[in-house]
Structure 1
Amino acid sequence: MFSVAGFSQTGKRVQGTLSDQQGEAIIGASVKLVSEVDSMQTSSGRGGIFTFNGIKGQRFVLTVTSLGFDTLRQHFAFEPGKNDLMLPVRLSTSSHMLAEVSITGVAALTIKEDTLEYATKNLRLREGALVEDALKKLDGVEVDKDGNVTAQGETVTRARINGKDFFGGDIKAAIQNLPAEIIEKIQIVDDYGDMANVTGNRTGDPERVLNLQIAPERNNGDFGNFRVGGGTEERYQVTGSYGKFKEGMQLSVLGNLNNVNASLFDFNTRSGGARRGRGGGSFGRGFGGGGMWGGSNGLTNTQSIGLNYRQDFNDKLTMYGDYSFGHNNNTTLSDEMREIYASAVTTYTTSNMDNGSISNDHRFSWNVEYRPDDKNYIKFSPNFAYRQNRANNLSLSTNVRDELLINDLTNRQVNASYAPNYGASGLYNRRLSEGGRNIFFNFSLNTASTEQDQERILNTLVYETTIEDLDSVYQQHLVNLENKNLNGGATLSYIEPLGQYSNLEVSYDFNFASYDNNRQANAFNIDGTLIDNSGYNNSQHYDYTFSTHRGTLTYRYRKDKWNYSLGVAAQPNMLRGGADIDGTAIAINRSGFNWMPVARLEYEMSRTKRFSVNYSGRANEPGVTQIQPFTDYSNVNAPVTGNPNLSAEFNHELRINYRNFNIGEGTSFFVGLTGSLAEDKIVTNRTTFVDDSIGIVQATEYLNTDGFYNTRGFYNFSKPFSDRTYTLSFNGMVMYNNNVSYASSEIANNGAPYFNTVRNVAKNWVLSQGIMFRYNPTETVDVTPGIRYTYNTTDNTVNAGNNNNISTWAFTLNGSVNLTPTWIFGADLAKTTNNGYSSAVQANPMIINTYIEKQFLKGRTGAIRFQAFDLLNEQTNVSRNVTENMIIDSRTNRLARYFMLSLTYRFSNFAGGGMGFDAPGSPGGWGGGRRGG
């Protein structure tokens, strides 16, 4: 007994945790401890933890080895009088492995549950490269010509810096303006909302988010980028950005003035705030308006300015938010061919359209986060947006049916609208115990209104009619709309731990959307008298509320490699309202009830392999137009009748994902499968007929039906060779849509017409396969050829004439090279071959953009660039839209050939040094607009 006591007095203990440079735990590493009297060995376990007991020596050497990491050998000593020592140990990724497993030049990828984290330090980027340039080098990530980001086959919808929204989450504002050099890590996050972020319990569908982690050494300094350019076709661009980072403070200012389609902000991005979670004028590479290929339709004059600010007052209080303003003046010219199939008779409509719009957008969001202690967390987020828009549209159309000229139609429209909306959201979380007992509450409340004045003038020349002496019809329609919307909801959740690895959650969700709509319509003849048609002249007021209550019971288990949730949810929904149509009351009263499972499974095969399955279900309310209890004749050739008896549709979705990254070889593989099934799907019923006074009419109604489902599978595989000098990537997608709709056609019956309504199922397949090869031996040479084939086919069960077969080959080649340390040449080429479109809109453009740039001043902070955009002057856009009885092919103008000379100045001042301009400059670093050169 005395000997045991003596041992306990003299024995010492060492406990430590092993992790990599990204903080990810390292499991299974060999750990050896040697002193003058000790020799012990163990392995790191769960969480990277290792322990040595009974140590006799005062000083010792610790040796750690693990595959893929540099061996660590370090001396340690116990402090006098202390017998316990805690050691946080970090290993560095090995850079001296065999050639076939070298990872030089690769962004090290770490998988952390719902987060893919790329380290950017080893990417081969030119000086001045933007975040957008870095994203294009990441495995499984794509950035298209318009700045839209896709990661592992899913669209990225929001951008953040250090976990906080940047300009309300605006993707383009972040990736096309922030320099890549200040970013330490790029994270692709499946965000399940604030509740999941606070409690760790995930529910519903995730939102894919881009989070940019600023390098610590770049958190104290400022940077700026300013550019002015002018060119042929009266093209111009003036852009600027400024950013200042201090410890606890971030300030960003962006501004843009141009007529090269360089929109600085995407005002369709949702404002920041507490996400409940249930249920360019950039300064980088670019060759002209609307993206690398001038991707936005029409020609746009843009003026934009924005401010983003964040302040960490202390470790308890943080505030951040943004304000953005944008003015856009767009003119778009289009040619359109419509083929309408009805009862074996085909109607052709050829249209030329001239559309113009002027819009002013304001967006403001603010966030306050407060942590009074380690158990409580509060967040409050007000937001405001305002849009003013005026549009003038002119359409000239010719209708031919059964080889007979029916009519010519001139359609002039003037629309003016004002749409303010504002709201707030917030949450409160209380941790009741260290074991995981928790209570969570959040809410959101938003109000929006729209005032809109419409004027439509229809002038029809009638050729085929049974009405004597009718050769033309003139109609002027005036419509005034006032729509108000109030929506919101709340969530209350309680989590009770059932043990070390499991818990039980009980939650209640309430959501509602309330609408109040007023519509006044009048129609006039050419002499100013009212048209004798009650459908054209009426007053309507209708309001309704759609609400859902959802109770959920969920069991969650998480241990080692397994993480799953099982439960059940009950959700009733109610649709209540009424309407007054010229003094006639109409009641709206519908209800529904859905049971749904809660099912989520994650299996972590290793640190780099993960498999997940997730089911979600949600009810979708009918739209305002779909439920309106009257017929809208503001376009008499396309009247729309709502259905107040519509039920809410319910959508089931299943998502399966697998991802694998080989850290030694640098290969990545992602594959996913999603499927959805809709109950009571809201679909259209379109009726086609000839009106003797106005020609071809397509009337639209709505109804509920079943049988609507779709599925989509995708994959991405990427493998680098020779220290990532070469990278080969494959990605593909296959999608099937089983679309259901109804169509009614005019049928002759002994001289008396009637309408035959039939159910049509459109079986749509979309297949896509792409191959990309990147040659990037150094920062000064980057060449990327690629090819993609897309095939889209639709087979209709009723209207065989409406079957659709479209195929597209797209070839791309882009690259840049330093001719000398200060002279840079770059070019982009894209050739698109379209097959299956109408000959009236068919186009196979080849777009060639090129530039040459000279850098000067100390540190090459100045640059002058001459660029040519769309050398062959073939820029255009071709698209197809298929409905249940109609194919619409259209060709739209885009920004075409021009030449521009521009001057750029940039600076960067950070603690510990500047941006290191010793390396050759970048075509992406002297921007002022990837759009607009």
Structure 2
Amino acid sequence: MRDMKQIFALVCSLILLIVAHNAFGQSGKTVQGMLRDTESRVVAGASVQLVAGNDTLGTSSSPAGIFTFANVKAETFKIRVSSLGFEPFERQFTLQADGDKMVIPSFELQGIANMLEEVVVDGVLTVQVKGDTLEYTTKDLKLRDNALVEDALKRLQGVEVDKDGAVTAQGEQVVRVRINGKDFFGGDVKTATQNLPADIINKIQVIDDYGDMANLTGNKTGDAQKILNIEIDPEKNKGFTTTLRAGYGTDDRYQATGSAIIMRDKMQFSILGNLNNINAPLFDFNTQGGGARRRIGGGGGPGGGGMFGGSNGITNTGSLGLNYRQDFSDKITVYGSYSFGHDDNVALSSSLNRFLYPDSTLDRNTESNTNTIGNSHRFEANLEWKPSEKDFIKITPQLSYRNTKTNSFSFNENLLNGTLYNTEDNNLSGVAKSPNVGVSALYNRRLNDKGRNLFINMNISSSGTRDDQDRIIETLVSDPNNSDMTMDSLYRRTLSELDNSSWNGGATVSYLEPVSKYGKIELSYDYNINSYDNNRQQNAFQADGSELMDPRYVFNRMYDYSFSTHQFGANYNFNNDKIKYSLGLAVQPTLLDGDASIDGEEIHINRNGFNVVPIARFEYKFNRQKNLQLNYSGRANEPSITQIQPFTDNSNPTNIITGNPNLDAEFQHNVRLRFNSNDFQKGKTFFMVLNGTLTSNKIVSNNLRQTDPALGVIQETSYLNEDGAYSMRGFYHYGRSFKNKVYSLNFMGSLNFNNNPSYTEGNLNKAQNWVLMQGMMFRYLPSENLEINPGIRYTWDHTYNTLNARSITMQSWAPTLIGSVNITPTIVFGADLSKTFFQGNAFSENPFIINTYLEKRMLKGNRGALRLQAFDLLNEQTNISRTASDIMISDTRVNRLGRYFMLQFTFKLQKFASGVNPFQDNGGPGGMRRPRM
């Protein structure tokens, strides 16, 4: 049989040789040409055919866009070109009589709308670069069965997922996730990445999003947010996918998770539920809703099953969420979500804080135990209506509510110049409620087909906080000059009520007028107002229950104020396929107006301000895979309530804060440069981002230290404006893959510098902070059966304070190793190892975290999986961090979920209308998908 195959192959080869010899001869000419697009950029990887009669030769254009055919003898022939993203091309030629080589003039390929930037190379991840969007086609990723979107993200060059599930792209944190262009559970990142199955997605887009106005008009202003958009595979858009997971382990650890996603072309419905005590929250209720005007945990383990425990403390969690989308017609789309979460967290923390004054050092050491129980609700809906081809309306109502009960105990020890000054026991019991409601609406009208456009956006929202606290503080004061003296005791109980409410309203109007083929003028007006009503009262009692009339503890204060801005702008926009830029100017008058009542004393504040805001943006495309962007933005930042309050807040007598009603709003100038240079044909990616920020009238603190015979050491903080605050940040990522992405090597690094002025006892101090990070990761991924990911990250953090000429340096090394292997076709072993070496931190721990699992896949099509997982085998899980400011160094250690073992069962059910049974045996080991060659 083998001999017959060899004979057959030989006969076929001879036939092909004879045909080629008859058609083109042995002494033909060389035909060569070049492919370009309409912007004279080379087109690489295109399929090129030379057709002579019934005979055809084929080749591909080189990275330089050149194609070559040898031994062409036919008198006439056709050249056919096809390439994804371009219209098919065909032209007939006559072979030249003289010379050995015929050079064909460059072909100009016409691009298909919205597909000009796509680069397709067999064996290499398909990528599109479309202005502010980087799009990855995920069909070529080598993923295991039951993989999640988070697992797919870890395969993308320039994208990182840390152990807590946070996603960064090109060095910037991703703040929102969308499904098919619409928010999924309010844009909650981890909800999407840690619950959506990877096998239903087709593309992942990383987008610099400038808001609804930019998406509708193309005019980009302000700062961009980094978001993910996940596109569902059209073949999976009819059907459902369901995953159920349950597990129980040592120390009574448990997990029960369920998700179901139903898709029917124009309808999507998702339901998620979660109940566990392994620090695996389902929703992040701190995520800002998608409808607001944008001026403004658990880490998944390898393999898709997930191992958690990365958030601080130990949390019992219960969550439930619904997400719905319906395209009722081509004109009306409705989508929205409701999320509920209950959490019960216990956190144990230790902090060592050192305050550096010109003539002394204060050490404040704190041990605390805090229990926080909360219930959160979040609802968001979106109505998108297209009454005509030129009109678009979007209405977004939002509602959220959270109530929290807190009980905490902390022990504080204060040492002045190394000598014990006082100790403090602090017991706090509090109840807080925070309702928020708002609605936003926008209208866009295309006035003609040449670019004339009108955009209107309006919003109004209201929020509030009601916080009732019962605090008992017992202080023991010593005499620093006599260590043998018995410490004096001071007892006080305070009952305080904090009632803050605010509302925000605003409107934006933008008008675009085309003045040339590529140029437009924009006229804009933006109005925004923030109004605040703040009330705080406090009573105090002695140990025997009698009232304590000391004004430091007893007060009744009210502060109502508003901050409003009007911004008028005009700019010119130029946009062709190679160059885009915007130049303009905006003026912004501001008004701060308010009234305060402090223990019966009335105070009125009224102050005007004026800002000039330049508008500048530039983008240049060198070719299809290389571009440069330069963007300037400016904005005014109003003072916070704490900074501007016209009174002294001594609710914490050892940390007194005095506001300054004469503060000006600070103005921040930001310049951002981004450069991309990629060669996806060779598996190379390079991203570089440079940011520079200069803040005028920076609101800075003035820190004072006092001693009190009854309270010990007291720190007072006030605020003022100061110039000279600036920062610079650079980030790069370089990735290279080899042999169809079997081997991948990635380098990433950043360098940050911050110059922060402040005052200490009236003396100017500049805290100059340098942070250097360098990382490297290697990936070996020959198939879905084996994956090895070693890596290492180095961080150097150095702060120099000019006032006391002191330097603070901290370093850390963090090697990691993540991998998985199929022991048999249905048995998988995975491990996640990380070790951190700290230098310069007050805490001596260098945790070595080992997570591992052994999984057996079962049932038809591997729908079921039984997993035995071990979390933190050495029981060294903890969170250690350091922060440094103008006068303070703070080292903090917080407990995290420690070692446990869990047996977990996962069942997955899918069915799609494409006719493909997702549970049939695919012929690969364990039913895995075969690698695409």
Taking structure 2 as the reference length, what is the TM-score of the superposition?
0.87
1:901 to 887, 900, 903: 903
Task: Summarize the Cα distance change of 1:34–1:578 in structure 2 as closer, same or farther, 3 Å threshold.
Answer: same
Secondary structure at 2:681's aligned position in 1? coil
Task: Summarize the Cα distance change of 1:189–1:846 in structure 2 as closer, same or farther, 3 Å threshold.
Answer: same
1:336 shift after superposition: 1.6
Determine the structure 2 residue equivalent to 1:580.
597
Secondary structure at 2:140's aligned position in 1? coil
Task: Summarize the Cα distance change of 1:73–1:128 in structure 2 as closer, same or farther, 3 Å threshold.
Answer: farther
Determine the structure 1 residue equivalent to 2:280.
262
1:460 to 467, 470, 475: 475
- Counterpart of 1:210 in structure 2: which amino acid? L
1:278 shift after superposition: 6.2
Contact 1:287 1:868 survives alignment (8 Å): no
> Quick one: distance in 1 between partners of 2:366 and 2:892?
9
Determine the structure 2 residue equivalent to 1:226.
244
Determine the structure 1 residue equivalent to 2:157.
139
Determine the structure 1 residue equivalent to 2:789.
784
Determine the structure 1 residue equivalent to 2:798.
793
Task: Summarize the Cα distance change of 1:798–1:292 in structure 2 as closer, same or farther, 3 Å threshold.
Answer: farther
Contact 1:486 1:515 survives alignment (8 Å): yes
Contact 1:173 1:280 survives alignment (8 Å): no
> Quick one: distance in 2 between partners of 1:518 and 1:304?
33
Determine the structure 2 residue equivalent to 1:339.
354
Determine the structure 1 residue equivalent to 2:21.
none
> Quick one: distance in 1 between partners of 2:611 and 2:118?
51
1:881 shift after superposition: 2.0
Higher mean alpha-carbon deviation, 876-885 vs 592-601, is at 876-885
- 1:75-133 deviation digits (Å, cap 9, x = unpaired): 9xxxxxxxxxx9979999998xxxxxx751x3211100110000101111112211101
> Quick one: distance in 1 between partners of 2:84 and 2:380?
47
Q: Is 2:777 aligned against 1:772? A: yes
- 1:302-350 deviation digits (Å, cap 9, x = unpaired): 0000000000001000000000000010001111212222233222222
2:754 to 737, 740, 743: 737
Task: Summarize the Cα distance change of 1:224–1:30 in structure 2 as closer, same or farther, 3 Å threshold.
Answer: closer
Task: Summarize the Cα distance change of 1:452–1:19 in structure 2 as closer, same or farther, 3 Å threshold.
Answer: farther
Question: Whose RCO is larger (CA < 8 A, sep 6+)?
Answer: 1
Determine the structure 2 residue equivalent to 1:857.
859
Q: Is 2:423 aligned against 1:419? A: no
The residue correspondences of 1:99-498 to structure 2 (distance < 5 A) are 103-104=122-123, 106-273=124-291, 276=293, 285=302, 294-464=309-479, 471-498=488-515
1:509 to 523, 526, 538: 526
> Quick one: distance in 2 between partners of 1:496 and 1:260?
56
- 1:265-317 deviation digits (Å, cap 9, x = unpaired): 111111122x54568679974799xx867321100000000000000001000
1:722 shift after superposition: 1.5
1:441 shift after superposition: 0.4
- Counterpart of 2:518 in structure 1: which amino acid? Y
The residue correspondences of 1:353-752 to structure 2 (distance < 5 A) are 353-464=368-479, 471-744=488-761
> Quick one: distance in 1 between partners of 2:45 and 2:238?
38
Task: Summarize the Cα distance change of 1:469–1:135 in structure 2 as closer, same or farther, 3 Å threshold.
Answer: closer
- 1:532-589 deviation digits (Å, cap 9, x = unpaired): 3223211111111011111110101112301111111111111110101111111122
Secondary structure at 2:186's aligned position in 1? helix
Determine the structure 2 residue equivalent to 1:81.
none
- Counterpart of 2:744 in structure 1: which amino acid? T
Secondary structure at 2:191's aligned position in 1? helix
Contact 1:766 1:792 survives alignment (8 Å): yes
Contact 2:165 2:299 survives alignment (8 Å): no
Task: Summarize the Cα distance change of 1:427–1:551 in structure 2 as closer, same or farther, 3 Å threshold.
Answer: same
Task: Summarize the Cα distance change of 1:93–1:350 in structure 2 as closer, same or farther, 3 Å threshold.
Answer: closer
Secondary structure at 2:222's aligned position in 1? coil
Higher mean alpha-carbon deviation, 912-921 vs 665-674, is at 912-921
Higher mean alpha-carbon deviation, 396-405 vs 148-157, is at 396-405
> Quick one: distance in 1 between partners of 2:297 and 2:885?
33
Contact 2:552 2:653 survives alignment (8 Å): no
Contact 1:70 1:91 survives alignment (8 Å): no
- Counterpart of 1:720 in structure 2: which amino acid? S
Unmatched segments (≥5 aa) in structure 2 = 1-34, 54-60, 66-76, 93-109
Contact 2:675 2:689 survives alignment (8 Å): yes
Determine the structure 2 residue equivalent to 1:752.
none
- 1:344-371 deviation digits (Å, cap 9, x = unpaired): 3222222211111011110000000000
Higher mean alpha-carbon deviation, 60-69 vs 913-922, is at 60-69
Unmatched segments (≥5 aa) in structure 1 = 1-17, 37-43, 49-59, 76-85, 96-101, 745-756, 925-933
- 1:653-678 deviation digits (Å, cap 9, x = unpaired): 00000012212101100001001111
Secondary structure at 1:208's aligned position in 2? strand
Task: Summarize the Cα distance change of 1:156–1:860 in structure 2 as closer, same or farther, 3 Å threshold.
Answer: same
Q: Is 2:823 aligned against 1:819? A: yes
> Quick one: distance in 1 between partners of 2:194 and 2:416?
49
Higher mean alpha-carbon deviation, 207-216 vs 690-699, is at 690-699
Task: Summarize the Cα distance change of 1:299–1:64 in structure 2 as closer, same or farther, 3 Å threshold.
Answer: same
1:645 shift after superposition: 1.2
1:913 to 908, 913, 916: 916
1:883 shift after superposition: 2.5
> Quick one: distance in 1 between partners of 2:284 and 2:592?
33
Contact 2:619 2:629 survives alignment (8 Å): yes
Contact 1:340 1:347 survives alignment (8 Å): yes
Aligned-CA RMSD value: 3.1
Determine the structure 2 residue equivalent to 1:15.
none
- Counterpart of 1:547 in structure 2: which amino acid? S
Determine the structure 2 residue equivalent to 1:892.
894
Task: Summarize the Cα distance change of 1:27–1:572 in structure 2 as closer, same or farther, 3 Å threshold.
Answer: farther
- 1:856-875 deviation digits (Å, cap 9, x = unpaired): 11111111111111111111
Contact 1:465 1:693 survives alignment (8 Å): no
Contact 1:128 1:921 survives alignment (8 Å): no
Contact 1:799 1:885 survives alignment (8 Å): no
1:923 shift after superposition: 12
Task: Summarize the Cα distance change of 1:712–1:280 in structure 2 as closer, same or farther, 3 Å threshold.
Answer: closer
Determine the structure 2 residue equivalent to 1:54.
none
Task: Summarize the Cα distance change of 1:72–1:128 in structure 2 as closer, same or farther, 3 Å threshold.
Answer: farther
Contact 2:298 2:311 survives alignment (8 Å): no
Higher mean alpha-carbon deviation, 367-376 vs 629-638, is at 629-638
> Quick one: distance in 2 between partners of 1:619 and 1:355?
37
- 1:837-881 deviation digits (Å, cap 9, x = unpaired): 11xx22100001111011111111111111111111111111112
1:398 shift after superposition: 1.8
> Quick one: distance in 2 between partners of 1:577 and 1:381?
31
Task: Summarize the Cα distance change of 1:762–1:387 in structure 2 as closer, same or farther, 3 Å threshold.
Answer: same
2:872 to 870, 873, 879: 870
State the percentage of identical aligned residues: 51
Task: Summarize the Cα distance change of 1:457–1:211 in structure 2 as closer, same or farther, 3 Å threshold.
Answer: same
